Structure 1
Amino acid sequence: MENQKDNFLLKWIEKSILPIANKIQRNKYLQAIQSAFMTLMPIMLIGGIITIITTPFVDYTKMATTDSMYNFYKGWQLFVNNYGMPLVILRSVTLSSISLWTSLAIAYFLAKHYKMNTIITSVVSLLMFFILCTSVTKDGGLSNDFWGGEGLFAGIIIGIAVTELYRLFTTKKIGTIKMPDMVPPALKSSFASIFPIIFVTVICTIIAMLCNSILRITFPQAILNLFHPLVVTVDNAFGLSLSSILSQICWWFGIHDTAVTSLLEPLMYSNYSANAAAYAKGIAAANLPHIWTEPLWWNWMVIGGSGATLALAVMVLRCKSVQLKTVGKVAIIPALFNINEPLIFGLPIVLNPLFFIPWLLAPTINGLIAYICMAIGIVNKTFIYPGWNIPAPIAQFLSNMDLRSIFLTLVMIIIDGLIYYPFLKVWDKQKLEEERGGENVA
């Protein structure tokens, strides 16, 4: 009876959820967004490192002069004040300008998909970003308040919309200037883009003017207000858990988890960028505004790769089955760097009903543990994204510069092991019996 229920559930998922996941995975806009974020990871990593260097962990003015670390933190702060301006500028043009670069990168990859001129399209997107996301300050300067995480949703929309508008005007040849055949191709292409760029500029300028004059807010602020109800609904422990389960279901059926994570990237990167900006302003790491960030997902939840399989990879090495032990030897080194395809397809986990439950549970429980611990202050919230392939527990420590993260990560790995252990034990026994049966037949 229980098997019938399991089969019914799996068939329902295969029939109802997988077609949607497949369509999402193949969506050209989501692919462009995903490619953009992957490309910009080095920029964000540099910005995170600079944030650490330019922001002492402790404000020395609030320390006793007799404290053993007083001179260290005072010297650190004086160094930043006297020599840190280039570093502050570097942080401003990397992590604090992530929306700008995202808009440009999305336009590039979308133009590449359409086989358009990627350079011109990217530059046009950049120009429109300046028009829509930059405001004039009272002293006549330009404000870049929405170049960071706060303007990320606007940057994504600009990258997509500008590319589509520019493509529309160029493919329909609206305002195209016909040039003689003897004109060089580069010059032809340049002149052909003049009127499409003008049309796109006029449209974006009108939008910016309407936002300022009618709504009395900037375009990125209007986009933030529009998405706020959705973000509030999703940006919590329940939304995190549901997203984890959906992501794991996709992987279990052999569909890459980007079908889900590509939808979440704007939220996670926006929250991460906001945390980094808040930390740079002197807000304590325990009091940062967001818990669900890019590093929370990739460093804390999926330890060892999707499914949180690092503990499983270690346990497979001790299996009695020759087949499983061989898989373990191949999978253990990649698993340390959060690459677990050898385990997923070698064990296998994909389409293996035995591992369906622990596959869903392990990363979801990791997420809940980390979420709760950060919410109540057991460990700091994250403000640095060291990258998805940094081994545990180094990645977790680097994500919030909290030594307690090392201990918590080890506890989570043990919990992951306890979740997987009974299922692996059954699978090992089954494989061992198959191997012994084969030997007897031989």
Structure 2
Amino acid sequence: MVTFIENRIIPLLIRIGEDKHLVAVRNGIVLTLPFTITGSLFLILANLPIPGWAELLGPFAAKLSAPAAVTFGAIGLISSIGISYNLAKEYKLSAITCSVVSVVVFLLAQLNNEYQLNVDNLGAAGLFSAIILAIFTVQTLRFFITRNLVITLPDGVPPAVAQSFSSLIPAIFVITLVWLIRVLLNFDINSFFTWLVSPLVSGLGSLPGMLTLIFLISLLWCCGIHGDNVLSGITSPIFLKYIAENTQAYLNHQPIPHITADGFYIVFMCIGGTGATLGLVLAMLRSRSKLYRSVGKLSVTPAVFCINEPVIFGCPVVFNPLLMIPFTLTPMLLCTATYCLMYFDIIGRPVLQIPWTMPPVFAAWFVTGGNIPAVIWSICTIVISALIYLPFFKLAERKQLERELAEEKGEDAFATTESA
């Protein structure tokens, strides 16, 4: 079984994670973070859970929430720019040209039946069409350029002008094609792409889907591979769509639709980093082993900000069968418990996007819009993490103490021999 995973499963996941298109999607989605986090800050200020705050703000609350409506309402448009830009760089094409053409194609696909721009599709509703159309546009331009199916101007022409004309033919082709499909054939491109990826979207919106994802991420990390990065090209657009829809519902004071939105996994399953290793770090701080105590001291500050490479590679967790068990088991148990608590509305669901480096407890408060039960649960997750890791760590500590004792005896014997 282990050989099968190492030889078949891991290489396949690595190839998927290294695919140029998924890398471009991952890096392009990152471009939305400054805007969505900024919008979330305005939304927090407009909805602070302080008695009398809403009455104090009055009509100004709507004005304070305006940046959130704009930033989350442009996620699809921003993603189109970011993805086409990064994919063009991968293929060494003009990134700015590809981005501009992609934006035009994306906007053309968002026309309604009256041929007017449907601004509602510029946000989360148009995210998947933004991804697919950005990739399609860059690939089309690449096809024309690599086969020299472009207008070539003399050498004396300024580079900017030459670049514009070289992209003219592929731009005409891709824009005409999308116009033909959306306008003449009246085919809803946005709805089609949303339907196309709906099985994956619904899968990651369920508890079994999340448990499968966490297992794969943990499996990759246990082999020394950054599991979150490998799979983020697939998962990031879905979680971003969920959080954008949750934010919109929160903004309109409606029921929050999604549980597994962006923040669900990071805030409640990654306590101290992937694998919820904060509990392991806390155990190492009190270890009798010199090695583990040193690693614990080095790891505790990064762990507070959800960075756990020091403990994963310093302990190590990588290729350590004993610690691989709690590393995988802990986030899966926390996922199950958190999902159930949110499903039954015992704790709040993610409504705001926050930096993934925000410390635990504080992160729970911000991501849920100031939900106190979620904060209490965040504290509980730290305790649960420590309790699960502790028995496994004690076994590892016992073995490490035996090694350290043997080394000390060896050094004492060597010193005695030299003295003699």
State how far apart, in whole Å, the 1-side matches of 2:163 and 2:61 are. Answer: 47
Deviates more, 1:188-197 or 1:318-327: 188-197
Q: Say whether residues 1:129 and 2:102 are aligned partners.
A: no
Aligned 1:277-356 pairs, distance under 5 A: 277-283=248-254, 287-356=255-324
State how far apart, in whole Å, the 1-side matches of 2:355 and 2:343 are. Answer: 23
CA contact (8 A) 2:47 2:54 kept: no
RMSD: 1.8
1:158 matched residue in structure 2? 133
Q: Say whether residues 1:80 and 2:79 are aligned partners.
A: no
> Which of 162, 168, 178 is the aligned partner of 2:152?
178
Q: TM-score, normalised by structure 2?
A: 0.93
How many Å apart are 1:303 and its aligned residue?
1.1
How many Å apart are 1:431 and its aligned residue?
0.9
> Which consecutive segments of 4 or more residues in structure 1 shift more than 6 A?
none
1:61 matched residue in structure 2? none
CA contact (8 A) 2:88 2:98 kept: yes
1:189 matched residue in structure 2? 163
Aligned 1:262-281 pairs, distance under 5 A: 262-281=233-252
> Which of 243, 260, 264 is the aligned partner of 2:231?
260
2:11 matched residue in structure 1? 19
CA contact (8 A) 1:34 1:265 kept: yes
State how far apart, in whole Å, the 2-side matches of 1:136 and 1:79 are. Answer: 35
The one-letter code sitting in structure 1 at the alignment partner of 2:280 is L
How many Å apart are 1:56 and its aligned residue?
6.9
How many Å apart are 1:384 and its aligned residue?
0.7
State how far apart, in whole Å, the 1-side matches of 2:356 and 2:101 are. Answer: 32
State how far apart, in whole Å, the 2-side matches of 1:145 and 1:246 are. Answer: 34
Gap regions ≥5 residues in structure 2: 412-420
State how far apart, in whole Å, the 2-side matches of 1:261 and 1:121 are. Answer: 23
Q: TM-score, normalised by structure 1?
A: 0.88
CA contact (8 A) 1:110 1:160 kept: yes
Structure 1 pair 72/53, CA: closer, same or farther in 2 (3 Å)?
Answer: closer
> Which of 61, 79, 91 is the aligned partner of 1:114?
91
CA contact (8 A) 2:269 2:276 kept: yes
Deviations 1:204-223 (A, max 9, x none): 111212662xx5xx321121
The 3-state SS of whatever aligns with 1:338 is: coil
Report how many residues are paired: 409
How many Å apart are 1:178 and its aligned residue?
2.6
Gap regions ≥5 residues in structure 1: 1-8, 59-68
CA contact (8 A) 2:128 2:193 kept: yes
Deviations 1:400-430 (A, max 9, x none): 1201112101111111111111111011111
Deviates more, 1:257-266 or 1:355-364: 257-266
CA contact (8 A) 2:273 2:303 kept: yes
2:376 matched residue in structure 1? 407
The one-letter code sitting in structure 2 at the alignment partner of 1:311 is G
Structure 1 pair 335/72, CA: closer, same or farther in 2 (3 Å)?
Answer: closer
CA contact (8 A) 1:31 1:262 kept: yes
Structure 1 pair 390/188, CA: closer, same or farther in 2 (3 Å)?
Answer: same
2:197 matched residue in structure 1? 227
CA contact (8 A) 2:298 2:310 kept: yes
CA contact (8 A) 2:206 2:260 kept: yes
How many Å apart are 1:135 and its aligned residue?
2.8
The one-letter code sitting in structure 1 at the alignment partner of 2:394 is K
What is the percentage of aligned positions where both structures have the same residue? Answer: 32
State how far apart, in whole Å, the 2-side matches of 1:171 and 1:310 are. Answer: 50
> Which of 30, 51, 56 is the aligned partner of 1:38?
30
1:207 matched residue in structure 2? 181
State how far apart, in whole Å, the 2-side matches of 1:57 and 1:410 are. Answer: 20
Deviations 1:211-236 (A, max 9, x none): 62xx5xx3211212222234224420
How many Å apart are 1:28 and its aligned residue?
0.6
Deviations 1:86-124 (A, max 9, x none): x45422331111011011100000001111111111111
The one-letter code sitting in structure 1 at the alignment partner of 2:311 is L
The 3-state SS of whatever aligns with 1:294 is: coil
State how far apart, in whole Å, the 2-side matches of 1:163 and 1:145 are. Answer: 25
CA contact (8 A) 1:56 1:76 kept: no
State how far apart, in whole Å, the 2-side matches of 1:280 and 1:56 are. Answer: 12
The one-letter code sitting in structure 1 at the alignment partner of 2:104 is L
The one-letter code sitting in structure 2 at the alignment partner of 1:171 is T
Aligned 1:28-107 pairs, distance under 5 A: 28-55=20-47, 69=51, 72-81=53-62, 84=63, 87-107=64-84
State how far apart, in whole Å, the 1-side matches of 2:273 and 2:359 are. Answer: 10
The one-letter code sitting in structure 2 at the alignment partner of 1:337 is F
The one-letter code sitting in structure 2 at the alignment partner of 1:416 is S
